[in-house]
Amino acid sequence: MQDSSSITGSSGAESERPSDIYPATDFIREIIKEDIRTGRFGGRVHTRFPPEPNGYLHIGHAKSIVLNYGIAQEFGGKFNLRFDDTNPSKEEVEYVESIIADVRWLGADWEDRLFFASDYFEQLYEWAVKLIKKGKAYVDDLSADEIRAYRGTLTEPGKESPYRNRSIEENLDLFERMRRGEFPDGSRVLRAKIDMASGNMNLRDPILYRIVHESHHRTGDKWCIYPMYDFAHGQCDSIEGITHSICTLEFEDHRPLYDWFLDELEIYHPRQIEFARLNLSYTLLSKRKLLRLVQEKYVDGWDDPRMPTISGIRRRGYTPEALWDFARRIGVAKNDSIVDIALLEYCIRQDLNQRAPRRMAVLRPLKLVIDNYPEDQVEYMQAINNPEDASAGTRQVPFSKVLYIEQDDFREVPPPKYFRLSPGREVRLRYAYFVRCTSVVKDPNTGEVLEVHCTYDPATRGGDAPDGRKVKATLHWVSAAHAVPAEVRLYDRLFIKEDPNQAPEGQDFLANLNPNSLEILQGCQLEPSLAQAQPGETFQFERMGYFCVDKYSQAGAPVFNRTVTLKDTWAKIEQKL
């Protein structure tokens, strides 16, 4: 391992400019340019982000938001936020609120166009009636199991329901009575009459409406029939005048159905385009699985800083800029792939390197006593706030006789290539003096080093020796009398496997949880300026990484989350490519 004694402010390739790294275009932008050229939508571009409020947003959603909002911006178009709230049983107001906050935090602006699919329930119902009147939809009395059995398989055609040829009048009557609540859940559905022998299973008379006697977070008990996603989505796009309905690849097989509804209803027809969803190594991006982690308390909630949710990584100290950078670097493609999480970490390092103020913080303190330093003296050392940003200025850090240094920065018996403090050796204290270790005080029972004693050379104030002598290490420190004690939480990956879904026989992704994903350090010692740090503020603790004040941190008992370490694995990977 490399000796970490040297202090460098930066983390590598900061000379890159976004214009050099982002793909200039992609297949979606090319489609849109072509549509503008041919005047397909009158030159308009209007996208949307359509979350289902059944969980918190994750980094994969961020990719979709950046794509949809980014395209609207680039082409001078519009962007809508629309909740796909067609399923009353899994949806909650908490999710709606968190999603709004997350999309806003990412910087996507829907202006006054925040919509809910439930806003359109009446219109969707009328459209269902229209299909019935056209002889293109029917009420089916088969049970869910029977419908499944009648559907056939990929290799065998399905069978037509015995209720498929009901008269239009009977269908209209039954559908209206479904709406009025005359029938129990699951007793009837409304289906499109398309083709039970279609090679595309989605076209085998898909269900349009189900009976669900449940309250909806917005419409209350007004409805007891709810439209299926497929019947709602395209029609919502149509109502809102969306031009390009961008979704993930699993909807490719649904596109013929998307088109069928709009054609049969003879309404404005947006264009669906599919792209590959984001997969990230060591990470799960499935709301269903993330919900299990929350419900079964493997994490502290949706905003646990180990979660790949937007609220989790925000609490961890990630910035919207880093997520945009990440999303734009990975671009969009038509085939599935797995992105290395090291790239995401690289993006946040790049961003924080530019903007995070530097501070000194000792995470695992060891007392360092300067025997020849006057007992009651305090000197204020000038420290640079950010070597990447001269406008960040400097600050004064108190220095005194008793300091804390990292336990790791002292070895009684130094191993080869260890250049930090050990008996007889001289090192630099950052922004202060050279000190030489003279002795140690040990616990007589355990042999543990309790204190390191040293002498300082007053001629080296500021960190340089007038006689030109050199030291091989520079350590950070905190004055014990002035230090602010804090709790620091060190996070590691939540899963130990690159693909967390690959579990041993008979087990699931939970088997791959990293038992050491969180280490809590109590009694860390911070330089006094950090006493004023506010929740959400991020700093670089010199030599230790980037840290952010936890959102639940209390004044007087600060809690910091490690956002990311300083060690950059991605820059190395990139060099090799």
At 132 the three-state DSSP class reads helix
Helix (H) or strand (E) holding 461: none
Nearest approach, Cβ of residue 112 and ligand ATP (Å): 21
The answer to whether 281 contacts ligand ATP (rule: CB under 6 A) is no
Stretch that binds ligand ATP, among 2-10, 158-166, 278-286, 475-483 (CB under 6 A): 278-286
Centre a 10 Å sphere on the Cβ of residue 1 and count the other Cβ atoms it contains.
5
Residue 451 designated active-site: no
* Closest CB to ligand ATP among residues 64, 540: 64
Stretch that binds ligand ATP, among 11-19, 135-143, 190-198, 281-289 (CB under 6 A): 281-289
At 81 the three-state DSSP class reads strand
* Closest CB to ligand ATP among residues 27, 380: 27
* Closest CB to ligand ATP among residues 49, 433: 49
Stretch that binds ligand ATP, among 60-68, 121-129, 491-499, 510-518 (CB under 6 A): 60-68
CA–CA separation, 111 vs 48, rounded Å?
A: 12
Find all residues with CB under 8 Å of 46, minimum gap 6, and list them. Answer: 72, 77, 78, 79, 80, 240, 241, 242, 243, 244
Quick one: which of 576, 553, 400, 373 has its CA closest to 477?
400
Q: CA gyration radius for the chain?
A: 31
Q: Which is catalytic among the residues 287, 328, 420, 562?
A: 287
At 122 the three-state DSSP class reads helix
The answer to whether 278 contacts ligand ATP (rule: CB under 6 A) is yes
The answer to whether 277 contacts ligand ATP (rule: CB under 6 A) is yes
The answer to whether 316 contacts ligand ATP (rule: CB under 6 A) is no
* Closest CB to ligand ATP among residues 147, 276: 276
Reading phi first (left if > 0) and then psi (alpha if -120 to 50, else beta), residue 476 is in beta
Structure tokens at 73: 């911006």
* Closest CB to ligand ATP among residues 332, 530: 332
Nearest approach, Cβ of residue 445 and ligand ATP (Å): 54
Residue 204 designated active-site: no
Quick one: which of 539, 475, 545 has its CA closest to 11?
545
Q: Tell me which of 12, 60, 234, 365 binds ligand ATP, using CB under 6 A.
A: 60
The answer to whether 51 contacts ligand ATP (rule: CB under 6 A) is yes
The answer to whether 61 contacts ligand ATP (rule: CB under 6 A) is yes
DSSP character at residue 513: B
Residue 277 designated active-site: yes
Nearest approach, Cβ of residue 504 and ligand ATP (Å): 24
Please say whether the beta carbons of 456 and 433 come within 8 A: yes
Please say whether the beta carbons of 359 and 394 come within 8 A: no
* Closest CB to ligand ATP among residues 84, 550: 84
Please say whether the beta carbons of 560 and 488 come within 8 A: yes
Number of residues near ligand ATP (by CB under 6 A): 15
Please say whether the beta carbons of 477 and 405 come within 8 A: yes
Q: Which is catalytic among the residues 40, 44, 52, 160?
A: 52
Residue 569, classified by CB atoms within 10 Å of its CB into exposed (0-12), middle (13-18) or buried (19+), is middle
Stretch that binds ligand ATP, among 61-69, 161-169, 256-264, 265-273 (CB under 6 A): 61-69
The answer to whether 255 contacts ligand ATP (rule: CB under 6 A) is no
Q: Tell me which of 5, 11, 47, 64 binds ligand ATP, using CB under 6 A.
A: 64
The answer to whether 308 contacts ligand ATP (rule: CB under 6 A) is no
Q: Tell me which of 281, 286, 514, 569 binds ligand ATP, using CB under 6 A.
A: 286
* DSSP alpha helix (H) spans, 241-286: 255-265
* Closest CB to ligand ATP among residues 272, 474: 272
Q: What is the sign, positive or negative, of the torsion defined by CA atoms of 478, 480, 484, 488?
A: positive
* Closest CB to ligand ATP among residues 267, 285: 285
Find all residues with CB under 8 Å of 505, minimum gap 6, and list them. Answer: none
CA–CA separation, 372 vs 367, rounded Å?
A: 15
Q: Tell me which of 13, 285, 291, 510 binds ligand ATP, using CB under 6 A.
A: 285
Q: Tell me which of 36, 47, 63, 209 binds ligand ATP, using CB under 6 A.
A: 63
Structure tokens at 220: 């209350």
Stretch that binds ligand ATP, among 4-12, 59-67, 122-130, 443-451 (CB under 6 A): 59-67
One character per residue 233-252, x = contact with ligand ATP (rule: CB under 6 A): --------------xx----
What is the residue whose two structure tokens read 């490719």? 252
* DSSP alpha helix (H) spans, 58-161: 59-74, 93-106, 121-133, 144-150
- Closest residue (Cβ) to ligand ATP? 60
Centre a 10 Å sphere on the Cβ of residue 251 and count the other Cβ atoms it contains.
19
Q: Tell me which of 12, 50, 206, 500 binds ligand ATP, using CB under 6 A.
A: 50
Greatest CA separation found in the chain?
103
Q: Which is catalytic among the residues 29, 44, 90, 277?
A: 277
The answer to whether 287 contacts ligand ATP (rule: CB under 6 A) is yes
Q: Which residues are catalytic?
A: 52, 277, 287
Contact set with ligand ATP (CB under 6 A): 50-52, 60-61, 63-64, 247-248, 277-278, 285-288
